Amino acid sequence: MKAITVTDPDAGTAGMTLTEQPEPHLSENDVIVRVHASGFTPGELTWPATWIDRAGRDRTPSIPGHELAGVVTELGLGTTGLTVGQRVFGLADWTRNGTLAEFVAVEARNLAPLPADIDFVTAASLPISGLTAWQGLFDHGRLRSGESVLVHGAAGGVGSVVTQLAREAGAYVIGTGRAADRETALGFGANEFVDLGADDLASAGPVQLVFDVIGGDIGDRSVDLVRAGGTLVTIAAPPTRQPDGGRSVFFVVEADRDQLTQLAARVRDGRLRTSIGAVRPLGDAVAALNPVERPKGKTIITPWP
């Protein structure tokens, strides 16, 4: 099968190559999915799991990509909840070959049925951003109606979904980002917008919940914006200190079939939309994932015509 592979952890996306690879083999509780659309997060090339297996052994050449939508073609021993021919979407396993390929082997529990009225491209743009937003807001942030939320990167892939879910839950949302992102963030539902290049970030607090996707100096300064009893949730890096009278949580997104189903229901009825940019075939993936300019929206790769 055709697949995008990487072999050099220091090369970044420039080290991607289109190659021929063996088709994946089924393990217990796996399914084989014919990938119809795949998402990719550039940061995954810095994750140790991209380069080593669960036992810590080198597994290059690695196939990156973890978001997928496609059709089940084979079932492994012990698989439950899915059938051959079923449309599915979800997350590939972190320490195994990923979704920038024609076929992928995935633990069945990482996938959810894909309703017929959601196209593959839309579905492939949803798992990481959607699950990250859901888990950060509700599992770790314990968000309740009427609370205030500061969302960094509110126009981005994760931040835009955080903004929409938080507004649906009855929160007051303050989005942040670059000046050029203002209208996009407000369009996704932010009540206010803070330009990180010109506005005073301190004026945005205090809030009940900060959702940080940036880290660094922005993440450090955001600790002081959390009111007593509030939470800073971050996916950027473990926080260096706790908010005064509050708490901070760093987490890595996990696959969850029930949450994927909840997200799909919101896409179907128009409560949730994702930010999709370029859609390119697998043969153009290397160029598409090494853009000359900052992409607007998530790039989706489609292995089959």
Task: Provide the pLDDT for residue 116.
Answer: 97
Residues 6+ apart with CB under 8 A from 3: 18, 19, 20, 21, 63, 97, 100, 101, 102, 282
Taking only the tens of pLDDT, the chain with its 305 residues reads 999 999 999 999 999 999 999 999 999 999 999 999 999 988 899 999 999 998 999 999 999 999 999 999 999 998 989 999 999 999 999 999 999 999 999 999 999 999 999 999 999 999 999 999 999 999 999 999 999 999 999 999 999 999 999 999 999 999 999 999 999 999 999 999 999 999 999 999 899 999 999 999 999 999 999 999 999 999 999 988 899 999 999 999 999 999 999 999 999 999 999 999 999 999 999 999 999 888 888 999 999 87
**Amino acid type, 101:** A
Task: Provide the pLDDT for residue 149.
Answer: 98
Task: Provide the pLDDT for residue 152.
Answer: 97
Q: How many CB atoms lie within 10 A of CB 96?
A: 20
Q: How many CB atoms lie within 10 A of CB 10?
A: 7
Residues 6+ apart with CB under 8 A from 134: 165, 256, 259, 262, 263
* Global pTM value: 0.95
Q: Which residue in the block uniquely carries the two structure tokens 């590939």? A: 92
- 278 near 299, Cβ under 8 Å? yes
Interhelix angle 127-134/157-168, rounded to 10 degrees, is 50
Helix H or strand E segment including 66: none
Cis peptide preceding 113, ω within 30 of 0: no
Dist. CA 40–CA 43, nearest whole Å: 9
**Amino acid type, 277:** G
- Give me the count of residues in the chain: 305
Dist. CA 245–CA 114, nearest whole Å: 42
